[in-house]
């Protein structure tokens, strides 16, 4: 029993050492019909404030947040931990931005002295130099034949940067790629009762959450939202 508890507490540590890659949790707020955003990417919450508060708890127990250029551009999130209204904690943020599209005015780049910002990119240009001057860590990575990063290599690189536990906060395109590469350890789903419709952006491309091999670990109700924590099998 004690052994199991210790293992649960340190599972990210054991898993990350074994694989030399970070323990990876994905957090997704989804609609009834498994969409993560509206067709025009309009900025609107899918989950309620109680779910979002729990989302901050998940951030607070992670070593870094991993996101994409697209989520930064569409949402302009702060990606800080706000467990209390008066208190904002900055944790490292990793951005996958192959063509360096994120605006310099993005909220994540404010208060940069208080946090670590790591940007994976293929571009070495004036913008990359400006971002470095600002205090970002730029990691140059080659694109493969599909013009994408090899995510397995990218995750090994994250681990080598001394980050052993990440919370992914991005859309369905990255989530689908992570699943394909078997890089997800834990899935945190907040399912709301709203319906977005077939034009909405899917949580997972050409698939449903229930098609994944999942083992349920926890279930909670946050007013009208259902929260599920799964391990990927």
Ligand X SMILES: NC(=O)c1ccc[n+]([C@@H]2O[C@H](COP(=O)([O-])OP(=O)(O)OC[C@H]3O[C@@H](n4cnc5c(N)ncnc54)[C@H](OP(=O)(O)O)[C@@H]3O)[C@@H](O)[C@H]2O)c1
- Nearest of 4, 34, 7, 27 to residue 200 by alpha carbon: 34
Nearer to ligand X, 169 or 185 (CB): 169
Chain Cα centroid distance, residue 97: 14
Nearer to ligand X, 52 or 116 (CB): 52
Angle at 233 between CA 2 and CA 217, to 5 degrees: 50
Nearer to ligand X, 8 or 182 (CB): 182
Nearer to ligand X, 151 or 164 (CB): 151
State the number of CA atoms in the 13 A half-sphere of 103 facing the CB: 10
Q: How far is the CB of 18 from ligand X (least distance, A)?
A: 23
Q: How far is the CB of 58 from ligand X (least distance, A)?
A: 11
Q: How far is the CB of 214 from ligand X (least distance, A)?
A: 17
Nearest-CB residue for ligand X: 171
Q: How far is the CB of 67 from ligand X (least distance, A)?
A: 7
Q: How far is the CB of 144 from ligand X (least distance, A)?
A: 8
By the criterion CB under 6 A, which residues form the site for ligand X?
A: 28-29, 36-37, 41, 46, 68-71, 74-75, 96, 98-99, 101, 148-149, 151, 169-174, 177, 201
Angle at 167 between CA 186 and CA 160, to 5 degrees: 105
Nearer to ligand X, 136 or 174 (CB): 174
Task: For residues 165 and 63, give the distance between their C-alpha atoms in angstroms, rounded to a whole number.
Answer: 5
Beta pairing partners, 231: 186, 215
- Nearest of 41, 23, 56 to residue 171 by alpha carbon: 41
Contacts of 50-53 with C-beta under 8 Å, sequence gap 24+, read 50/222, 50/223, 50/225, 51/190, 51/192, 51/222, 51/225, 51/227, 53/83
Nearer to ligand X, 28 or 184 (CB): 28
Q: How far is the CB of 75 from ligand X (least distance, A)?
A: 4
């Amino acid at each position: 029993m004690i052994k199991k508890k210790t293992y649960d507490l340190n599972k990210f540590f054991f898993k990350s050492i074994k694989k030399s890659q970070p323990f990876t949790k994905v957090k997704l707020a989804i609609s009834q019909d498994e969409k993560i955003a509206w067709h025009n990417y309009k900025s609107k919450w899918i989950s309620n404030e109680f779910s979002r508060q729990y989302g901050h708890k998940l951030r607070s127990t992670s070593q870094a947040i991993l996101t994409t250029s697209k989520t930064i551009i569409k949402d302009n999130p702060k990606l800080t931990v706000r467990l209390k209204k008066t208190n904002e904690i900055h944790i490292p943020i990793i951005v996958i931005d192959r063509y360096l599209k994120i605006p310099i005015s993005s909220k994540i780049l404010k208060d940069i002295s208080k946090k670590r910002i790591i940007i994976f990119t293929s571009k070495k240009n004036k913008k990359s130099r400006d971002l470095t001057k600002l205090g970002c860590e730029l990691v140059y990575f080659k694109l493969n034949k599909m013009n994408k990063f090899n995510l397995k290599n990218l995750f090994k690189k994250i681990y080598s940067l001394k980050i052993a536990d990440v919370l992914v906060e991005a859309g369905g395109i990255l989530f689908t790629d992570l699943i394909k590469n078997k890089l997800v350890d834990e899935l945190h789903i907040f399912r709301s009762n709203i319906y977005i419709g077939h034009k909405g952006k899917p949580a997972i491309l050409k698939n449903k959450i229930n098609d994944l091999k999942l083992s349920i670990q926890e279930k909670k109700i946050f007013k009208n939202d259902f929260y599920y924590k799964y391990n990927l099998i």
